[in-house]
Amino acid sequence: MKANESYKFWMENDYFDKDTKDELVKIKDNMNEIEERFYKNLEFGTGGLRGIIGAGTNRVNIYTVRKASQGLADYVKTLGHEEKGIVIAYDSRYKSPEFALEAAKVFAGNGIKVYLFDQLRPTPELSFAVRHLKAAAGIVITASHNPKEYNGYKVYGEDGGQLPLEGTNKVVAFINEIKDITKVKFIEKEDAEEKGLIKIVGKEVDDEYITCLKTLCVNPELAREIGEEFKIIFTPIHGSGNILVRRILDEIGFKKVLVVKEQELPDPNFSTVKYPNPEEKDAFKLAIEMAKTEDVDMIFGTDPDCDRIGVVVRNKDGEYVVLTGNQIGCLMMEYILSQKKNKGNLPNNAFIAKTIVSTELANDIAKAYNVEIVEVLTGFKFIGEKIKQLDENGDKKFLFGFEESYGYLLGTYVRDKDAVVASMIIAEMAAYYKSRDMSLYEGLMEILDKYGYTLEGITSFTLKGKEGLERIDFTLERLRNENIIEFGDCKAVAVRDYLKGDRFDVATGSKEKLPLPESNVLYYEMGNNDWFCIRPSGTEPKIKIYYGVTESTMDKSKEKLKKLQDNVLSVVEKMLFG
């Protein structure tokens, strides 16, 4: 159905409510806007749905949520798991509670039991709840750290991990079979509750979640000894992390946790920040101002669905700096591995998982402790899959996983990145360095002195709409099809094309198969452990370029990183923008 025909269908059919039609009336003379909203159906990708909230087939609304839920319901029914049920959680974004309820009504309408959280919860708790309640699947209504205009629909399998590719493909096939969106089955909440198909869950799952996470403390005695005086500023950035992050810190012994009051309560407008993203220093502006009047040891903040965490520390010049996701990950790695080795409980079969765009420094740390590193494609779902494959169904022990975009996981109670457990370990780790009369920043410098000055960077370009998507696709296709290996003064020694599934050695001209699944990613090995990687974002209208370099000093690494970035962008920007 063409965009204008689909627009007309939504305008004229009584199935769509007054608010939807009022919104569509406002764009009746704007053909570009009609095209953007209706030129395609919002795609159900590897993690589910994510898009701008609004009326239309290419937007997130109650109707696209119902359609996705019908596809998931059909999939669960083929497994015969209606009685096992589906768990539903949601965050603080616009329409999150409404979308969660609409999904519940569809599942109930299909005879599937629903566990619906009584209020907003962190995404990782949803992963935990699926396992704890032995459910068939789970969904969380969230768009993570995207701008306020976005929301999404993230799907989990019965192992608590994001739905694997095979399951996703089956759900997509069922969604595509729905030719008439008005025929989706659903019943009202009251009817569903009377039939016992919707059960509200709350504190009882929180208690189990926190109890399990506390068993993952590396040095519980240290938190109790130093926690009484160790002062932390925490911001949930208007999201779902406020209650449980503060609770777990308090219960392990950190009694002086100050919250940024202006960002404490849920706010879908994220009114104090440009983006609710703990990667950005702007998100910590209020926390840093607060720290100037409080003698605090560290600052950290979680994103709206509390699966990612950012950390702010003072450097040697007294300036507040946001640590990179790679730096936090390596600090956590070194702490966990060194302490387990010292205590004699580092398993011989341990492994750590990271994504291909995360720092090479992790490989050096793992090697020093004789621990295996497993690399996966970008996205924490692939780390969750490795836990199931190698730990749950194999003979290896998962210790820790991370990705450069501020996602971390310790233990296997949760199968996705978890900022609640990460907050616990980061606080404990900072207390450890304080016990040595060191700051967390000094701890980072100690690691770089030990292993080498590895430095990473990232460039991203936002290209919105249909035209933006076409420019991103064009750029990647040209890089791939023209076999471009020279970027200014820099030349690749090998190219990994994860879409074609091979690694091309420039010097020999030989190719070898890559062990990872197909993905639209190009990875350029530049020699001497330097590299860059380019890929489209799976959650935003962006193209991302990642860089990594290693040198003997920080200054040399900074110089080399800038040169690599400048050379790569001299080529890529021309392709993107003409």
What ranges do the domains of the chain cover? 40-201, 209-448, 453-577
What integer best gives the mean pLDDT of the chain?
96
- Say what the pLDDT of residue 541 is: 84
Asked if 40-201 and 209-448 have one fold, the answer is yes
- CB under 8 Å, gap of 24 or more: what pairs does 288-297 form? 288/312, 288/320, 290/233, 290/258, 290/260, 291/233, 291/320, 294/231, 294/233, 294/258, 295/231, 296/231, 296/232, 296/233, 296/258, 297/230, 297/231, 297/232, 297/430, 297/431, 297/434, 297/439
The tokens 């209706």 sit on which residue? 38
Confidence class for position 179, pLDDT limits 50, 70, 90: very high
Distance in angstroms (rounded) separating the CA atoms of residues 273 and 261: 14
Helices 242-252 & 419-435 angle (0-180, nearest 10)? 40
Confidence class for position 92, pLDDT limits 50, 70, 90: very high
**CATH architecture observed for domain 40-201:** 3-Layer(aba) Sandwich (3.40)
Helices 325-343 & 440-451 angle (0-180, nearest 10)? 80
| High-pLDDT (> 70) share of the chain, % | 100
Burial class of residue 100, CB neighbours in 10 A (0-12, 13-18, 19+): buried
Beta carbons within 10 angstroms of residue 543's beta carbon:
24
Average pLDDT over residues 295-322: 95
Average pLDDT over residues 510-536: 95
Distance in angstroms (rounded) separating the CA atoms of residues 14 and 11: 8
Confidence class for position 157, pLDDT limits 50, 70, 90: very high
Per-residue pLDDT reduced to its tens digit, 270-294: 999 999 999 999 999 999 999 999 9
At the topology level, CATH places domain 453-577 in: TATA-Binding Protein (3.30.310)
Residue 405, H or E segment: none
Count Cα neighbours of 523 within 13 Å in the Cβ-side half-sphere.
22
Average pLDDT over residues 304-315: 96
- Say what the pLDDT of residue 47 is: 79
Using DSSP, how many helices (H) and how many strands (E) does the chain show?
19, 24
- Whole-prediction pTM: 0.94
Return the closest-CA partner of residue 62 out of 120, 107, 20.
20
Distance in angstroms (rounded) separating the CA atoms of residues 123 and 154: 9
Whether the per-residue pLDDT at 232 is higher than 90: the answer is yes
Distance in angstroms (rounded) separating the CA atoms of residues 356 and 114: 36
Burial class of residue 378, CB neighbours in 10 A (0-12, 13-18, 19+): buried
User: Is-contact 88 116, C-beta < 8 A?
Assistant: yes
Per-residue pLDDT reduced to its tens digit, 394-433: 999 999 999 999 999 999 999 999 999 999 999 999 999 9
Whether the per-residue pLDDT at 248 is higher than 80: the answer is yes
Per-residue pLDDT reduced to its tens digit, 484-510: 999 999 999 999 999 999 999 999 999
Among residues 69, 144, 405, 423, which one is catalytic? 144
Average pLDDT over residues 383-390: 96
322, 325, 327, 329: CA torsion to nearest 10: 140
Confidence class for position 465, pLDDT limits 50, 70, 90: confident
Amino acid letter at 373? Answer: I
At the topology level, CATH places domain 209-448 in: Alpha-D-Glucose-1,6-Bisphosphate; Chain A, domain 3 (3.40.120)
Is 144 marked active-site? Answer: yes
Whether the per-residue pLDDT at 45 is higher than 90: the answer is no
